[in-house]
Structure 1
Amino acid sequence: MGDRWSVEVDRGVCIGSGMCVNHAPDGFRLDSARQSHPVDAEADANERVLAAAEGCPVEAITLTLAGTGEVVFPPEE
């Protein structure tokens, strides 16, 4: 069984660009206020969700390993 990620969107940072939906349409939705939110709080680790996080122009998406909380994205500096 592969890794699972906890997916969070900081709605105070999100600017509603929709890039996350373009990269991972099954993983993210924009609400009526054009704020992003994950479809599910946890997702199987996959390239589309990672691309959505990496493509967010304001880094509003955080991915952590479910269970451990180890940060997957954004990388710790």
Structure 2
Amino acid sequence: MIKKTYKLETLTCPSCVLKIEGTVNKITGVSKAEVLFNASKLKVEFDESIIDGNQIRNTVERLGYEVLSEK
């Protein structure tokens, strides 16, 4: 398992949190996704043999949220 944190554009509402967490948690290979609303960050724990960080980033961006950085 690998852990990554994605810095997102400023989140404006709690429903954004639910939308992002719900979608990312459904991705095969993701064991945990948590959005920190006040920090506008997404923390994800995933199996890198099943999925890579770019797929997670692309999923978030398809939802309409800009990913500013990842580490």
After TM superposition, the score normalised by the length of structure 2 is 0.42
**Structure holding more helix per residue:** 2
Largest Rg, 1 or 2: 1
Task: Choose between structure 1 and 2 for higher RCO, CA contacts under 8 A separated by at least 6 residues.
Answer: 2
